[in-house]
A and B are shown apart, each in its own frame.
Chain A
Amino acid sequence: MFYNFNKIEEVKIRLRSAEGHICEVEESAALMSSFIRSMIEGFNEVTEVSLPNINSVVIEKVIEYMRHYKDKDPPIIKKPIISSKMEENTSAWDAGFIDADWNMVVDLMTAADYLMMIPLRDLCCAKMACKFKGRSIDELRAEYHIENEFPSEMEENLEFQHPWRLE
């Protein structure tokens, strides 16, 4: 019989999603979240954290990020971003990780904000900024299906105040 005496089972933290699903993550990875850290450090022997605002798909995505960066620092993204392509603003892994649809990025950003994971929140913000960078008002309205809410006189006033806005 073979025993691996060096291997010690790491404590797992159970994250309960909005739907009630349980997602497990190693404690060392979960500590990336200041929110979870405060829960663990504030209450002894806490192994389950309820996240009623975050669904399980997003929690799994957050855990993927936590595991990747549990032993190293995430890259810092320059402000303002230099390109509308994420791969030119950050590492290839980060760019691939955040290459998700709009709703996922928004949910991930909101979750990172809630969990107080600043590097992940910054990554999401930078991704969002990439979607806005270099786009005209009309392009943004068309992409997000937003009607022009400004009455014509206000639009004219805007144009007067910001003639260069339309460049």
Chain B
Amino acid sequence: MASEQKASLQCLSLNLLTEISEYLLPLDIVSLLGVCKRLHSFWTSKLAYKTILNPPYFNLTVRESWLLLQIKYLSERKNYPEIQRIGSLKMIYVLDISYSPLVLTLFLDKNLSKWKPYKNNRYKIIKNLETNFSVHSLAYHNGHLCILYTNNMLRCLLNSEILLNIENFEINYLNVLKMFYLNNAEYLVLFLNSGWVVFMNNQCEIISNRKIGTISEYKVIKNDIFIACVYNEVIAISPNKVQKLCVFKDIVSPNIFINKESQKIIIGISKNVETQFQHKSIQIAKKGKYYADIERRLFFQKINNRSCVSVVDEKTNKKYRFKAAREVASIFGDKRMILVAVNHWENRQTSLLFYLWEDGSPIFTKDFDKNINVLGFEFPYVIYSYTSDIMIEEIHVMKL
């Protein structure tokens, strides 16, 4: 029986396999793809065929073809518009690239009653949530545990079911600017606009709190330690301890990067000097301004002159030059490609440039008439907002 089943699975005609695939979602087909060589060969050739029907911008890998298929499914299913524009802060999003092949992990729909993480095409619905709430900040852990700060209330949700509501949270702590999880959701960290940092457990009980000041940037370096920039100081913060790492005299809000390979903390500052330190030693490393750590490859911006900047890949020493550019606004990438947003000198414009790692020539460019801030990127989606707004009021999703 077993051998017969094997024969049946591997000898199904390609015509019937095609028919069967119509009833499956891409993520289900992905499993079939890996079962045996024949199925792998079939699905990849089928994908190549489908890709021809949907002209790509360049030669797609199987992975990208799958993403194209995903998009096709998304656009066919009306619940998932291909390019979704979010009109106000009442609509939230989570960029959880590691969890899903798609960047659009979570959306609240227009009725503010549903959130739709895209994983195996499942929806999650927040129950018993009134329709007039406004989400100000959110912490999202592994697709299951979620904290929302809405209407002066902290709501803790597990698998979209409300576990806990803490009312009138702002009376004690004012507004929550930012929340995130530490140490596999053991700690919830809240930045408040009063300058307090609050650590809570997953029952929303306060473990510790400290008044530190307004945190402009942070990066998690260990399970329960993150480093943050507060005005001109870089400090390490854990639930039990706050340690000053370095203080700059006339430099405010430097960028913080972590080199995962060397475990170095890199501070990007705005005077064409990079400072990097490991433990307590501080050293001047390179001239430049902007560091980005993409898949363990370090990039930094080198300001050549007033009319040109370049981004240097430290691993290959390859330079990406941008003429008439003022600065690099953001860099995103994965193992194969890099997306660079460049601000121009004139008219507050931003260009998006999309490169393949090895080739180095742009395969996609787009000019915007305003400055934009790229919030997330996962091919072929780019999520961005306009930086001219005081608050992020419009988030756009663009498909490359």
Interface residues of A (CB under 8 A from B): 77, 79-81, 102-103, 106, 109-110, 113, 121-122, 125-126, 128-129, 132-137, 140-141, 143-146, 149-150, 158, 160-162, 164-165, 167
Contacts and interface: CB of A to CB of B under 8 A. Distances in A.
Interface string B11-44: 0110110011011110110111111110010000
A79 B72 CA distance: 13
B31 to A, nearest CB: 5
Given A134-B120, A140-B31, A164 B100 contact: yes
B213 interface: no
A167 B287 CA distance: 41
A129 B3 CA distance: 20
12 contacts: A81-B23, A102-B8, A103-B1, A129-B23, A132-B28, A141-B36, A144-B5, A145-B3, A145-B6, A150-B34, A161-B62, A162-B34
A146 B36 contact: yes
Interface string B85-125: 00000000000000011000000000000000001100000
Contacts of A167: 27, 119
> Quick one: which of B3, B8, B73 has the most chain A CB within 10 A?
B8
A141 B35 contact: yes
A80 B120 CA distance: 12
B272 interface: no
Interface of B: 1-6, 8-10, 12-13, 15-16, 19-20, 22-25, 27-28, 30-37, 40, 61-63, 66, 73, 100-101, 119-120, 335
A140 B9 CA distance: 10
A133 B24 contact: yes
A45 B16 CA distance: 33
A125 B35 contact: no
Contact of B22 (A79, A132, A133): A79
Contacts of A126: 23
Given A80-B25, A146-B6, A161-B61, A110 B35 contact: no
Given A132-B31, A140-B31, A161-B62, A106 B23 contact: no
Contacts of B9: 144, 146
Q: Nearest 7 pairs between A and B by C-beta?
A: A129-B23, A137-B34, A145-B2, A164-B101, A106-B8, A125-B19, A144-B9
A77 B10 contact: no
Contact of B35 (A77, A81, A137): A137
Contacts of B25: 80, 133
Given A106-B8, A144-B6, A125 B22 contact: yes
Contacts of B2: 144-145
A79 B21 CA distance: 9
Contacts of B20: 125, 128-129, 132
A125 B13 CA distance: 12
Contacts of B120: 134
Contacts of A164: 30, 100-101
B62 A162 contact: yes
A137 B120 CA distance: 15
Contact of B12 (A106, A129, A134, A136): A106
A146 B35 contact: yes
Contacts of A160: 335
A103 B35 CA distance: 19
A125 B5 contact: no
A129 B24 contact: yes
A148 B25 CA distance: 23
Contacts of A102: 4-5, 8
B80 to A, nearest CB: 13
B148 to A, nearest CB: 25
Contacts of A109: 16
B33 A165 contact: yes
A125 B16 CA distance: 7
